[in-house]
A and B are shown apart, each in its own frame.
Chain A
Amino acid sequence: MGHLFSFIETTPPSLPIEPLEPSLPPTKSINASPKSALVVENDESLVNCFRELLKKGGYAVRLASDAEEGLRLFRECGPFNVVLINYYIPPREGVGIDCLAPQQTHGVELAMAIQHKNPSQGIIIVALDYQRAADVPRPPQLMHIPVLTQTGNGQLRSLLETIEVHRAINALTRSELLKLQRIAKFRIRGIGRAARGRDWEDLLDEAIYRTLIGAKDTQNGRHWNRSVSFAQHLKGAVWGIADYWKKQFKDERIYLVSELLIHDAEGDDYSPIDTVPSRQVPADQHLIDKDEKERVLVLFGDDREALQVLQGLMDGLRKTEIMSRHGLDERKYAAALKRIRLKLLDRRNDRGRG
């Protein structure tokens, strides 16, 4: 404990914040801005552990060894991207926060005070002496706050990632959200039957799952590389997932029913397919897809330029090739493309497609 205090005290007052690593990406957007963390902990080994983990994650770290210091730093240096609070941080006296009634357990009061001051603050309670998060006695106001019970298995890293993704979702602008929705809709329509009835919402769901799950490899997840904005990351994820669904659909082996027949004790044949829901594309979906191709062309029957652009895209031509082939200038090409997008995702034409 004494050693910890000396560690904090030897930090020059003018430089209480750990400098960011020089290799961090420049601060272009909210997603790439410097991140800051406050750690309120009085166990030196844990402080070092958290500090290293946070620094590796690109956080500038401030340290406090007790609740009073933690609150002071929070008031004076906040907002922080994340606050790690030891569940057993020593109780404080006379700090003078008039927000919430003191609770019976120490440490918790600090988290409540911080949350009261800034409800969107990403707070993690560290309770390493408990085996399970459910065992940590918390007041109802803090039940939703993530509790870290182990430092192994990347739990802290995962919690930090979750907080960051949550913040990034909240920071998405209206136009970014609209673009992501439209991209997902076009991708779903592009892969047709391979979507197996999944819609654009499923595609975005999957993009989030893979972002949160996948720090390890590209097979199971998609790590958000902070050098790109979150919207760009999601766009890439949506693109890749749709490709994966299509590949998955193509790779499926087709079995003959006769290969699967099972003989029962009485010598009768029965098919196991009869006992499980079909994974095949339903007939009505097949018809919808067939109809889709015809519908796309019919939609533009009276729009020569749109039809020309559409035909060029279908033939795999580049923009410049389409423009020169049909004598379209930049403005006319962009206008035709816009009309195509509008007609395909028009409320009247988009009905039933989510």
Chain B
Amino acid sequence: MAEGRKMDKANHDERLEKVMNQLADSVFALPDEAIVAEVSEAGFDPDEEAAHTRIVLCEAMQTLENVNSHLSNLGHTVDPNGWYRGRSGYHNTCVNCGSFVSFTIGTGEVRGEALETRCHENGQYMTRRREASRE
């Protein structure tokens, strides 16, 4: 009996998902003016909604840029393709010293030893400026 209810529930979940997928697909196929009219009809301001969506996308970019900039400022170097996805966020390690860094999806919270200490392996190289080539 309980098993049957569980099956029903899973079935219902699948069916609801199919509906939502079809609706999502139908949105993308709409002409530009139709989606704007539809959003207005639903009681939203299309300009506000579009601007809000753009902000959401830009903020996600900013989060990642902040992480990279913070790491760079501390002398760490991470492979931009080396981020791997964990359960709640992304993780990476400095290619020089191996320090760990992670940031959490949603909150954008950044953690890890790479954000607390300077890259100790980076200091082994002397700062060499190309003054000679400029003269």
Residues of A48-65 at the interface with B, using a CB-CB cut-off of 8 Å, are none
Tell whether B27 is near chain A: CB-to-CB under 8 Å. Answer: yes
Tell whether A345 is near chain B: CB-to-CB under 8 Å. Answer: yes
Tell whether A133 is near chain B: CB-to-CB under 8 Å. Answer: yes
Q: What chain A residues lie within 8 Å of B32 (beta carbons)? A: 173-175
Docked complex Cα distance between A348 and B58 (Å): 28
Q: How far is the CB of B31 from chain A (nearest CB, A)?
A: 8
| Residue of B16, B51, B74, B77 ringed by the most chain A CB atoms within 10 A | B16
Tell whether B79 is near chain A: CB-to-CB under 8 Å. Answer: yes
- Chain B: number of interface residues, binned into ranges: 35 or more
Interface residue SS majority, chain A = helix
Query: CB-CB contacts of B48-67 with A at 8 A, as 1s and 0s?
Result: 01111110111111011100
Q: How far is the CB of B89 from chain A (nearest CB, A)?
A: 9
* Contact yes or no, B17 A191, CB < 8 A: yes
Q: How far is the CB of B47 from chain A (nearest CB, A)?
A: 7
Tell whether A1 is near chain B: CB-to-CB under 8 Å. Answer: yes
Tell whether A47 is near chain B: CB-to-CB under 8 Å. Answer: no
* Contact yes or no, A187 B20, CB < 8 A: yes
- Chain A: number of interface residues, binned into ranges: 35 or more
Tell whether B117 is near chain A: CB-to-CB under 8 Å. Answer: no
Q: How many A-B residue pairs have CB under 8 A?
A: 212
Tell whether A342 is near chain B: CB-to-CB under 8 Å. Answer: yes
Q: What chain B residues lie within 8 Å of A132 (beta carbons)? A: 72-75, 122
* Contact yes or no, A192 B60, CB < 8 A: no
Tell whether A153 is near chain B: CB-to-CB under 8 Å. Answer: yes
* Contact yes or no, A182 B106, CB < 8 A: no
Q: What chain A residues lie within 8 Å of B39 (beta carbons)? A: 178, 182
* Contact yes or no, B122 A314, CB < 8 A: no
Q: How far is the CB of A109 from chain B (nearest CB, A)?
A: 15
Query: CB-CB contacts of A10-48 with B at 8 A, as 1s and 0s?
Result: 000000000000000000000000000000001100000
A132-B74, A192-B13 are known contacts. Are A178 and B50 too (CB-CB below 8 A)? yes
* Contact yes or no, A345 B42, CB < 8 A: yes
| Residue of A131, A135, A187 ringed by the most chain B CB atoms within 10 A | A131
* Contact yes or no, B53 A296, CB < 8 A: no
Q: How far is the CB of A132 from chain B (nearest CB, A)?
A: 4
Tell whether A124 is near chain B: CB-to-CB under 8 Å. Answer: no
A132-B72, A177-B50 are known contacts. Are A205 and B60 too (CB-CB below 8 A)? yes
A179-B28, A235-B28, A315-B15 are known contacts. Are A147 and B42 too (CB-CB below 8 A)? no
Query: CB-CB contacts of B74-101 with A at 8 A, as 1s and 0s?
Result: 1101111101110100100001000000
Q: What chain A residues lie within 8 Å of B44 (beta carbons)? A: 347
A172-B54, A186-B21, A345-B42 are known contacts. Are A162 and B75 too (CB-CB below 8 A)? no
Q: How far is the CB of B128 from chain A (nearest CB, A)?
A: 6
* Contact yes or no, A175 B80, CB < 8 A: no
* Contact yes or no, B27 A42, CB < 8 A: no
CB within 8 A of A337: which of B15, B26, B72, B81?
B26
CB within 8 A of A154: which of B46, B63, B80, B84?
B80
Supply 20 A–B pairs (Cβ within 8 Å), ascending by A.
A42-B133, A132-B74, A152-B77, A173-B32, A174-B50, A175-B33, A175-B50, A178-B35, A179-B30, A182-B24, A182-B39, A204-B56, A205-B105, A205-B106, A208-B57, A209-B105, A239-B24, A248-B87, A310-B19, A316-B18
Other A-B pairs, 17, CB within 8 Å; known A172-B57, A186-B24, A209-B90: A43-B130, A88-B134, A129-B128, A132-B122, A153-B77, A174-B47, A179-B35, A181-B49, A192-B17, A202-B105, A202-B106, A208-B60, A209-B60, A209-B64, A214-B83, A239-B24, A337-B22
